[in-house]
Structure 1
Amino acid sequence: MSRHSFDPKIAEKVGVNAAVVYQNIVFWAEHKMNNRNRKQDRECWHDGYWWTYNSRKAFSDQFSYLTADQIRTALEKLVSFGLLLKGNYNKAGFDRTNWYAPTVSSEWPVGEKSPMDRGSEPNPLGKNPQPIPDSKPDTKPDTKNARDRADDLFSAGNETDQQDETSKAKNDLADIDSAFDEFWGEIWPSHARKAGRADCLKVYRQACTGKHPKADKISPRALNEATKAYIASVRDPQYLKGPLPWLRQPGWEPFVRAGGQGFRWEDLSTAQQNALSDGRCPPSLMENGAPDEVASYWLSKFRKAAG
């Protein structure tokens, strides 16, 4: 049984998942450097770095305890922290597989010193590191088969991602429609000007998907909160606008909470608080693949505190 280990200094910076993935990539980069007489390994030397790549299935097999999203996140974090370089050295122009290399050069051999602390440990994997087994290192799908190419973990815009994005878009729209039901049925009071539900839904969707012609995108939660604030500001109900012209105006902008005012920590669940404290956005606070206004506010708070 293999043991997956990592450099604690790297884990402190990027987390355990990314540290383990980093060890794997360093191991195979070292493997190529030590076997440079082989043509297939020599071809992984570009611009002063030893590069490696792998398929979705190969990485999933190696890291059975990590999801594909966790592996992606780990790689993105390693690149953003400067531990890995990301490139493309595919021979076929249509092959968009990403390659990764530890941030070391020909003057600074792979594995000689840790990128996190070049003056301390002589090997980022520790003494006599236990390699992560990989029965098929640097395996890419058959580039003649588009369905196989879509199975590459690092491919941009592959079929699986497109399917996931389509499914996510449907889920996001369902969430928006659910928020609109609250907007229409619970928040906006019965009124002579309350009409045009279908048209209101259309404009509401535009506002929450960034397609409103007069306003920036707003989350359904923020829009509903602004709606409540507007209605509370109208002292005489006879002066309350109709929901359709109010949405088209857009009437919510003066009532959007600025600078996170009203974003109360106690309103979050324990799971949400734990994730945000660790610098992660919980799925429940994601909007169109990115942190919503609440998550963005608290994440920025923790980043400032950490800085």
Structure 2
Amino acid sequence: MGNMSLLISEPPLMVLPELAKQIGLNEAIVLQQVHYWLSKSDKVQDGHKWVYNSYEDWHKQFPFWGIATVKRAFTSLEKQGYLISANYNKAGFDKTKWYRIDYEKLAETESVIQRSDQNDPTSGSNRSNGADQNDPTKGSNRSDGADQNDPTYTRDYPETTTENNQENTAEKNNDHRDKPDDLREGVLRESFERLWSLYPAKRGKKAAFAHYKAWRRKSKQNTEAILAEKLQAYKAYLAAPQNSWRRPQDGSTWFNGGFEDDWSLPQQQPPLGRNDYLNGLTGRRYDE
């Protein structure tokens, strides 16, 4: 049949079927691509590598989708907790999102898949779900990013036994004890709910909470009290008569760095007296 190149004539986008089953096909494709670019990124903020692109630029990497589909995939990954977004842009008006992967969340999903396979009597070494992509004889010389699935990135999970389950439970408890109390999921949720009850627009709550968690965990200086103060200033800004035409931002926008904008009200200048006016016109002092 000659030199057949109908199926793959360029570096392919790789995705594991098991991941697609767990989080969605489009989401799995996007997550793999973000992982690929993170491996090449030199953008480090707060101890993590980040990548950033406009939706239009992301769309160039997925030309078989519309931009709306690309946006939905990224939004879904944020809501599911696999992608964490932030705004490290120098210009305040630049709202381009920066992304990193929550690899701890991904590891939990991988653990669920592994336990499910171990408990499934029909699973085995002859699976056709793409797991053989981790075979050390496959893909290590590929230039398309698929070599990120090589064995050096694969965790070895033990058999699921009562003893191991007890050890895993103890490890999880220790992990919770190691985390500062005010950064645990439940405590952050309560903190966010207090702020959300004061926020003027009840839209985009799930994404807003994800942004709030990422912001709180980014720095010890990022506290509920600081954001409450910024929220108070924002509400005062909206309540000012000259801003009555403004519509409050969606929570998903304001909690994603919108609070960093300058929402302070301009200082009111006292009215000029007659002498002040004349002094300003002529440069002479009429009140001496």
**Which has the larger Rg?**
2
Say whether the fold is shared (TM-score over 0.5): no
TM-score calculated relative to the size of structure 2: 0.35
